[in-house]
């Protein structure tokens, strides 16, 4: 079986974790700070705040953006549900913008059309690993008191006009779930150049308490104050030791992902029923996902059939994602439904994610390509 994504853990990762387990700090210790510092440097951002998941990172970003009841945040229709959920956590309302037909990145013209006097944030998603249209998005939010947030969970190691992801928006979030580029088990990070925002998110991840227990220890004091309502979104030193060890390999892993993508691109170049998404000039795609559109003009259920056929051959393809506003929760609470974002809904009928992870061998890439071409023939998409 070939999964669509998986982690890569080596002996040095295991040693790093064991070393932390033998130390006297399992949480809120030196590995957290070391991981934050290394990640800030990697992304070119001034500050990094590590948290317990990518979802917690998005929630903290919404806190930092000042989202509250009555505020709106514009999010793309095609993304993981957490991109929209984080707005609801803060009492705000997600507003869904359609995506571009060629890249499935949030469509700047639809963002502009959906701005109201209540819009306080735009969350761009670097879908599949390709950085969104940041120049256009900056132009749109400029002078409007709107925070631009990058949900860069798909794109560590990516770049836009030679600037790395993490330095492209006011706040950028990352995930360290095992299907993403580097694994902490669970983990997330927010990076920003705004020192005040970083400080508020650091307090937010620790219940809203303004000093951690080590600072109290240093002051020989038991006193602490909860200034605001926060959460326990802390990440452990065990997870950060793993993250730090994995981060060292990230540049090579992004290269490997790009190499695999080039092989897929070549293999499907002349196959008209399999259409990879466009990669725009000036972008360094980090390839969390390799997404193709299975053209349905000749066979309406082609994607479903290809999905089933590939899975029966042990190629665990997947679909990323159903438009978020079609989930029952959003239909029920916001009254959303079909017809809202036609480009996203049409794409959702056609998209398929092929296996993409650095540990995928050249031979396995060949197996996937062969299986896709044979499956297209089996279901009658090609002759
Ligand atoms: C994975 C992901 C998240 C959430 O990250 P977790 O670490 O699983 O909480 C958020 N947004 C996008 C686009 C993601 O892919």
Please list the ranges in the chain whose pLDDT falls under 50. Answer: none
Task: Give yes or no for residue 125 CB within 6 A of ligand 1.
Answer: yes
* Atom 7 (ligand 1) nearest CA: 54
Give the distance (Å) from ligand 1 centre to CA of residue 223: 36
CB atoms within 10 A of CB 97: 25
Ligand 1 atom with least separation from CA of 177: 7
Predicted TM-score (pTM) above 0.95: yes
Task: Give yes or no for residue 202 CB within 6 A of ligand 1.
Answer: no
d(CA 13, CA 36): 17
Helices (H), the chain: 11-22, 30-43, 54-64, 82-89, 108-114, 134-141, 195-204, 213-218, 237-247, 250-268, 302-312, 328-334, 342-348, 362-378
d(CA 69, CA 93): 8
* Atom 15 (ligand 1) nearest CA: 153
- pLDDT at position 216, please? 72
- pLDDT at position 355, please? 98
180 as an active site residue: the answer is: yes
- pLDDT at position 215, please? 73
Ligand 1 atom with least separation from CA of 127: 13
Whether 123 contacts 78, CB under 8 Å: no
Q: How buried is residue 334: exposed, middle or buried, by Cβ count under 10 Å (0-12/13-18/19+)? A: middle
- pLDDT at position 213, please? 66
Using most ligand atoms within 8 A of CB, pick from 55, 178, 182 the residue to mutate for ligand 1: 55
153-202 pLDDT per residue, tens: 999 999 999 999 999 999 999 999 999 999 999 999 999 999 999 999 99
Using most ligand atoms within 8 A of CB, pick from 131, 152, 180, 288 the residue to mutate for ligand 1: 180
* Atom 5 (ligand 1) nearest CA: 54
Give the distance (Å) from ligand 1 centre to CA of residue 375: 31
115-140 pLDDT per residue, tens: 999 999 999 999 999 999 999 999 99
CB atoms within 10 A of CB 163: 14
- pLDDT at position 218, please? 77
In degrees rounded to 5, what are phi and psi of residue 282?
80, 10
Q: How buried is residue 300: exposed, middle or buried, by Cβ count under 10 Å (0-12/13-18/19+)? A: exposed
Give the distance (Å) from ligand 1 centre to CA of residue 76: 14
Ligand 1 atom with least separation from CA of 79: 13
- pLDDT at position 220, please? 78
- pLDDT at position 166, please? 98
């Amino acid at each position: 079986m070939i999964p669509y994504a998986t982690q890569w853990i080596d002996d040095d990762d295991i040693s790093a974790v064991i070393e932390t387990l033998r130390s006297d700090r399992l949480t809120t210790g030196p590995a957290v700070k070391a991981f934050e510092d290394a990640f800030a440097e990697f992304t070119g951002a001034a500050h990094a705040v590590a948290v317990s998941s990518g979802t917690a990172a998005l929630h903290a970003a919404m806190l930092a953006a000042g989202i509250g009841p009555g505020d709106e945040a514009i999010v793309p229709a095609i993304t993981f549900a957490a991109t929209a959920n984080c707005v609801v956590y803060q009492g705000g309302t997600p507003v869904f913008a359609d995506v571009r037909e060629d890249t499935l990145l949030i469509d700047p013209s639809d963002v502009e059309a959906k701005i109201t006097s209540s819009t306080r944030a735009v969350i761009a998603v670097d879908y599949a690993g390709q950085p969104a249209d940041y120049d256009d998005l900056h132009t749109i939010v400029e002078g409007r008191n709107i925070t631009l947030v990058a949900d860069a969970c798909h794109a560590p190691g990516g770049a836009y006009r030679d600037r790395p992801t993490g330095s492209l928006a006011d706040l950028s979030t990352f995930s360290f779930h095992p299907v993403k580029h580097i694994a902490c088990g669970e983990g997330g990070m927010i990076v920003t150049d705004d020192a005040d925002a970083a400080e508020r998110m650091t307090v937010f991840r620790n219940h809203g308490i303004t000093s951690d227990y080590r600072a109290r220890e240093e002051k020989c004091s038991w006193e602490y104050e909860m200034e605001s309502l926060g959460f326990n979104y802390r990440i452990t030193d065990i997870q950060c030791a793993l993250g730090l060890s994995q981060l060292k390999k990230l540049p090579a892993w992004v290269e490997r992902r790009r190499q695999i993508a080039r092989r897929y691109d070549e293999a499907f170049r002349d196959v008209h029923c399999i259409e990879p998404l466009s990669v725009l000039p000036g972008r360094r795609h980090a390839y969390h996902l390799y997404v193709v559109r299975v053209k349905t003009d000749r066979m309406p259920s082609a994607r479903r059939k290809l999905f089933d056929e590939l899975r029966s051959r042990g190629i665990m393809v997947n679909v990323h994602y159903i438009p978020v506003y079609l989930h029952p929760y959003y239909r029920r609470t916001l009254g959303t439904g079909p017809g809202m974002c036609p480009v996203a809904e049409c794409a959702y009928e056609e998209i398929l994610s092929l296996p993409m992870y650095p540990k995928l061998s050249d031979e396995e890439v060949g197996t996937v390509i062969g299986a896709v071409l044979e499956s297209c023939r089996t279901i009658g998409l090609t002759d």
